[in-house]
């Protein structure tokens, strides 16, 4: 078989790794595609071998999965970042958009879009992820309450199915495949091209943090903020467990609104909840931005002495996690195991959840940021493969733990995994209706429980688009037919 790119059979260690750093499955070969036909040819060839072959195919974005989801043991990994076609092409009009390769990084899309005064609407907290990778999950960040997740903000996809066919799909054309692939965990096709919705870009961001010691006040304010479109542009939050010198750390990048009062605040020994919000603006157009923000803040019940603000460029705001990445890489703390756990918790159960998890399981310490913020499903696209709780408002709760490789203590992998198990065991109580985001299960029964009433559709779509279960074996949902 002739490729525009090339296949490599040696030195494929990189493709047997991911950000989770816990699964290392060596593939048989890695394809570095230069064209969509490279991808369709290899999938079609494997499909045509039928049950005589055991080969599977995993598209690999930037390899930022947590539990081997982009790996293929003894199979073929497709390194999507090699696919540089199409070149990013912008359509400027009433509904602007950009066509990009499925292997494109969001950070590159941001930089190119800004050259046209435009920007995608919905983001993840970290931009060094690929379009195909985040669209296969959802792509959720603090803008999702307003615009829905990234899977809401895509007009069209080009997909190579598990039969090797190249299909264009959208809300108007091949709709079932379009919905299947969005949030589809790579099960139905490889995204080779995406048409991403854009809007005019702001230049600046007012970035604000404030603390709460009362969980009810915190969540009431978060839910109040996401209930209106005349609000902030970004609403998130995080939990602070047993941290000292917290406000002092903030001072390197944020300014206290009231420095004297802020000096007197102590966070020692308490569980605190931090509201993180942002308002976008263009200095030449908005001369009363501070007043607008003060009005919005006057409706909130945070601890007044803990209000901190900062003004940064739009790029610096969106690319903020990359700054931490650089620091952690310098200390050798980026490529450690990451036993992350992401949950979607219905609003009606968030207090019960917080009481058990923050008041009991994690009351002494956490091993990384714990994010918590609500989103409203009414703004999310219906019919995709993504599974969410049944209520309109639900919380993303993300335990973003890092483990120290050689530690057997509270910062070691085993301890964190045990804590995750305790959290999951609590969350398994059926009345809570909690779902995993970036889900991970080891057998099909658990997957069926995850999908619930959506399992039948998911299964039917698998039979239609990838009947031999060739694609994304690392999700461990289906067994390769042989």
Compute φ and ψ for 408, nearest 5 degrees: -110, 10
- Name which of 225, 185, 242, 208 is nearest 370 in CA terms: 242
- Among 47, 126, 215, 314, which residue interacts with ligand FAD (rule: CB under 6 A)? 126
Residue 296 found at the interface with ligand FAD (CB under 6 A): no
Examine the residue annotation and report whether 284 is marked as an active-site residue of this protein. no
Residue 154 found at the interface with ligand FAD (CB under 6 A): no
- Among 36, 190, 210, 300, which residue interacts with ligand FAD (rule: CB under 6 A)? 190
- Active-site hit among 62, 64, 147, 415: 64
Which helix H or strand E contains 294, and what residues bound it?
A: helix 289-297
Name which of 300 and 470 has its Cβ closer to ligand FAD.
Answer: 470
**Rounded least distance, CB 117 to ligand FAD, Å:** 25
The number of residues that bind ligand FAD (CB under 6 A) is: 37
How far is the C-alpha of 465 from the C-alpha of 280, rounded, in Å?
A: 41
Q: Which stretch binds ligand FAD (CB under 6 A): 128-136, 172-180, 307-315, 417-425?
A: 128-136
Residue 156 found at the interface with ligand FAD (CB under 6 A): no
Residue 384 found at the interface with ligand FAD (CB under 6 A): no
Residue 343 found at the interface with ligand FAD (CB under 6 A): no
- Provide CB contacts within 8 A for 315, sequence distance 6+: 110, 111, 114
**Rounded least distance, CB 250 to ligand FAD, Å:** 21
- Among 4, 54, 125, 258, which residue interacts with ligand FAD (rule: CB under 6 A)? 125
419 by DSSP, 3-state: which? helix
- Among 76, 191, 211, 393, which residue interacts with ligand FAD (rule: CB under 6 A)? 191
- Name which of 110, 124, 120, 129 is nearest 69 in CA terms: 129
- Provide CB contacts within 8 A for 363, sequence distance 6+: 241, 271
β-pairing, 271-281 vs 341-346, is unpaired
Examine the residue annotation and report whether 125 is marked as an active-site residue of this protein. yes
- Among 110, 118, 129, 154, which residue interacts with ligand FAD (rule: CB under 6 A)? 129
Examine the residue annotation and report whether 236 is marked as an active-site residue of this protein. yes
- Active-site hit among 38, 236, 276, 319: 236
Q: Is 428 exposed, middle or buried (0-12, 13-18, 19+ CB in 10 A)?
A: exposed
Q: Which stretch binds ligand FAD (CB under 6 A): 24-32, 182-190, 279-287, 301-309?
A: 182-190
Structure tokens belonging to residue 77: 């990994």
Angle at 297 between CA 293 and CA 303, to 5 degrees: 140
Name which of 61 and 237 has its Cβ closer to ligand FAD.
Answer: 61
Which DSSP string corresponds to 311-358? Answer: EEEHHHHHTHHHHHHHHHHHTT-SSS----EEEEEEGGGHHHHHHHII
Q: Which stretch binds ligand FAD (CB under 6 A): 33-41, 46-54, 65-73, 404-412?
A: 65-73
- Active-site hit among 4, 112, 125, 391: 125
The CA–CA distances, whole Å, from 258 to 114, 306, 346 equal 35, 8, 35
Residues 390-449 that bind ligand FAD (CB under 6 A): 438
Q: What are the residues binding ligand FAD (CB under 6 A)?
A: 18-19, 58-65, 69-70, 80, 102, 124-126, 129-130, 132-134, 136-141, 185-186, 190-191, 321, 438, 472, 474-475
Q: Which residues are known catalytic residues?
A: 64, 125, 236
């Amino acid at each position: 078989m002739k490729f525009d790119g090339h296949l490599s059979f040696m030195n494929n260690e990189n493709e047997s790794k991911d950000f989770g750093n816990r699964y290392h499955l060596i593939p048989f070969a890695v394809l570095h595609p230069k064209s969509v036909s490279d991808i369709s040819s290899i999938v079609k060839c494997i499909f045509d071998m039928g049950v005589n072959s055991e080969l599977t195919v995993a598209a690999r974005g930037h390899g930022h999965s947590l539990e081997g989801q982009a790996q293929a043991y003894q199979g073929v990994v497709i390194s999507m970042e090699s696919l540089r076609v199409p070149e990013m092409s912008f359509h400027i009009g009433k509904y602007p958009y950009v066509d990009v390769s499925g292997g494109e990084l969001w950070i590159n899309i941001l930089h190119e879009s800004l050259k046209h005064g435009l920007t995608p609407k919905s983001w993840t907290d970290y931009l060094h992820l690929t379009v195909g990778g985040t669209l296969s999950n959802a792509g959720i960040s603090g803008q999702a309450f307003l615009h829905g997740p990234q899977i809401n903000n895509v007009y069209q996809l080009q997909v190579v199915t598990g039969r090797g066919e190249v299909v264009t799909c959208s809300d108007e054309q091949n709709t079932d495949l379009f919905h299947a692939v969005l949030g589809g965990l790579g099960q139905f096709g490889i995204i080779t091209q995406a048409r991403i919705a854009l809007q005019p870009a702001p230049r600046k961001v007012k970035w604000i943090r404030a603390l709460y010691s009362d969980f009810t006040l915190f969540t009431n304010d978060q839910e109040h903020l996401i209930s209106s479109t005349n609000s902030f542009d970004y609403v998130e939050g995080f939990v602070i467990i047993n941290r000292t010198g917290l406000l002092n750390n903030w001072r390197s990048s944020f300014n206290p609104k009231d420095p004297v009062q802020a000096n007197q605040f102590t966070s020692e020994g308490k569980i605190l909840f931090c509201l993180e919000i942002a308002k976008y603006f263009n200095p030449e157009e908005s001369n009363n931005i501070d007043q607008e923000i003060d009005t919005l803040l006057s409706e909130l019940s945070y601890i007044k002495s803990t209000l901190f603000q900062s003004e940064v460029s739009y790029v610096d705001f969106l690319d903020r996690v990359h700054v931490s990445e650089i620091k952690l890489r310098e200390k050798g703390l980026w490529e450690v195991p990451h036993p992350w756990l992401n949950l979607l918790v219905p609003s009606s159960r968030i207090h019960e959840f917080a009481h058990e998890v923050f008041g009991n399981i994690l009351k002494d310490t956490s091993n990384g940021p714990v994010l918590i913020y609500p989103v409203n499903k009414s703004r999310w696209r219906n019919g995709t493969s993504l599974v969410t709780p049944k209520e309109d408002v639900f919380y993303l709760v993300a335990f973003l733990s890092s483990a120290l490789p050689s530690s057997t203590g509270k910062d070691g992998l085993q301890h964190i995994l045990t804590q995750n198990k305790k959290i999951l065991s609590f969350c398994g109580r059926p009345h809570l209706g909690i779902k995993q985001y970036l889900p991970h299960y080891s057998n099909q029964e658990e997957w069926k429980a995850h999908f619930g009433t959506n399992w039948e559709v998911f299964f039917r779509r698998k039979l239609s688009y990838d009947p031999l279960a060739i694609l994304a074996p690392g999700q461990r949902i289906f067994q390769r037919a042989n």
